[in-house]
């Protein structure tokens, strides 16, 4: 098996990411941020980084439990709030989503999960307006590449500090920043239904898939070279197909080109234009 080392220098990453959050929020005319805290490791880390970047008083942590959400999730989120001293608000989404669930009683767990993720997005963006802060995202590189995310749901944000860190690296940085132990060690879960775990749903562990993604994406290995490096053909096939099928989640809606100058094709500016 090829040696793959995903270890990062956490001091360096911490400096770059806090600088990124501070710069990219203040240059848009804001001083504050809003983070949805699920009780999981990704949102905990985003909250730690944002609090360090802007000062804890400028970060609003929002907890958005559903009726069946695990009580541990709420508690773990509370640990982050207490440790950082950030203001917080708890807004259950149960009353928002249940009427739609009742209207379609046969709705699949995935549909219900997507609705919950999008209801949380609505709450978060409303709190963004109320608190006067930008929404800081929590999606990591592994879930972005695998498309393990709800479009316009948990993936919606103004800036994303974690999007170029694999889950394995998120764990490393979260540990270095002092995220509570119970959050570091529990199995990752979207907590959209009882007993759901990321690794159960995906069918492989983050530790395994991160190593494969690193070869495919960062090291530009072909699928054949990954198999030569020791991964099974089935696993390589499943993962490369997932990456391909989910490209639509990684791009803005495609625009049909008609004119000589079209947004996205030949009307090209950074978001930071003029700042």
Partner 1 sequence: MKLTLALAQINTRLGVPQANLEKHLALIRDAHQQGADLILFPELSLTGYVLQDLVPRVAHRPVADDPLFAPLLEASHHLDIMVGFVEEDRRSRFYIAAAYLSQGEVRHVHRKVYLPTYGLFDEGRYFAWGDAIQAFDTRFGRVGMLICEDFWHASPPYLLWLDGADLFLFASASPGRGLSQDERLESARWVDHINRAYASLFTAFVAHTNRVGYEDGLNFWGGSAVYDPNGKVLAQAPYHEEALLLTEIDLNQLHRTRYRLPLLRDERTALVQRELNRILGQRQSNSGR
Shortest separation between residue 231's beta carbon and partner 1, angstroms: 22
Shortest separation between residue 11's beta carbon and partner 1, angstroms: 7
Kindly state the number of chain residues that form the binding site for partner 1, as judged by CB under 8 A: 26
Q: Which is nearer to partner 1, 181 or 266 (CB)?
A: 266
Which range of residues in 7-15, 113-121, 142-150, 241-249 is near partner 1 by CB under 8 A? 7-15
138 assigned ligand-binding residue: yes
Question: Binder to partner 1 among 1, 3, 7, 254 (CB under 8 A)?
Answer: 7
Shortest separation between residue 271's beta carbon and partner 1, angstroms: 5
Q: Which is nearer to partner 1, 164 or 201 (CB)?
A: 164
39 assigned ligand-binding residue: yes
Q: Which is nearer to partner 1, 129 or 273 (CB)?
A: 273
Which residues 6+ apart lie within 8 Å of 262 measured at CB? 255
94 binds partner 1 (CB under 8 A): no
220 binds partner 1 (CB under 8 A): no
Q: Which is nearer to partner 1, 12 or 129 (CB)?
A: 12
Question: Binder to partner 1 among 194, 245, 257, 271 (CB under 8 A)?
Answer: 271
247 binds partner 1 (CB under 8 A): no
272 binds partner 1 (CB under 8 A): yes
Question: Binder to partner 1 among 19, 178, 230, 233 (CB under 8 A)?
Answer: 19
Structure tokens at 166: 């694999």
Question: Of residues 127-166, which lie at the interface with partner 1 (CB under 8 A)?
Answer: 163-164
Shortest separation between residue 128's beta carbon and partner 1, angstroms: 20
SS (H, E, C) the chain: CCCCCCCCCHHHHHHHHHHHHHHHHHCCCCCEEEEECCCCHHHHHHHHHHHHHHCHHHEEEEECCCCCCCHHHHHHHHHHHHHHCCCEEECCCHHHHHHHHHHCCCCCHHHHHHHHHHHHHHHHHHHHHHHCEEEECCCCHHHHHHCCCCCCCCCCCCECCCCCCCHHHHHHHHHHHCCCHHHHHCCCCCCCCCCCCHHHHHCCCHHHHHHHHHHHHHCCCCHHHHHHCCCCHHHHHHHHHHHHHCHHHHCCCCCCCCCCCCECCCECCCCCCCC
37 assigned ligand-binding residue: yes
For residue 93, the cross-strand partners are none
82 assigned ligand-binding residue: no
| Interacting residues with partner 1 (CB under 8 A) | 5, 7-9, 11-13, 15-16, 19-20, 23-24, 163-164, 169, 266-275
Q: Which residues are annotated as a binding site for Mg(2+)?
A: 42, 143
């Amino acid at each position: 098996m090829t040696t793959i080392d995903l270890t990062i220098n956490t001091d360096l990453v911490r400096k770059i990411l806090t600088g990124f959050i501070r710069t990219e929020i203040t240059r848009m005319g804001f001083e504050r941020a809003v983070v949805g805290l699920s009780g999981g490791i990704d949102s905990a880390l985003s909250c730690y980084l944002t609090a360090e970047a802007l000062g804890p008083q400028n970060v609003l942590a929002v907890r958005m439990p559903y009726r069946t959400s695990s009580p541990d999730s709420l508690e773990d989120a509370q640990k982050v709030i207490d440790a950082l001293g950030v203001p917080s608000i708890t807004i259950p989404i149960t009353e928002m989503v249940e009427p739609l669930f009742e209207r379609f009683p046969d709705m699949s767990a995935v549909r219900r999960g997507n609705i919950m993720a999008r209801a949380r997005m609505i709450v978060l963006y409303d709190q963004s307006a109320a608190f006067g802060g930008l929404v800081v995202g929590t999606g990591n590189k592994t879930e972005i590449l695998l498309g393990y995310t709800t479009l316009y749901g948990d993936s919606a944000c103004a800036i994303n500090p974690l999007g170029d860190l694999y889950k394995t690296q998120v764990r490393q940085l979260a540990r270095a920043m002092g995220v509570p132990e119970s959050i570091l060690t529990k199995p990752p879960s979207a907590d959209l239904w009882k007993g759901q775990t990321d690794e159960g749903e995906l069918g492989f562990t983050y530790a395994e898939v991160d190593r494969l993604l690193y070869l495919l994406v960062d090291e530009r290995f072909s699928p054949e070279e990954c198999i030569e490096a020791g991964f099974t053909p089935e696993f390589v096939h499943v993962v490369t197909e997932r990456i391909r099928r989910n490209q639509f989640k990684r791009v803005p809606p495609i625009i049909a080109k008609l004119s000589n100058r079209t947004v996205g094709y030949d009307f090209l500016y950074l978001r930071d234009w003029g700042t």
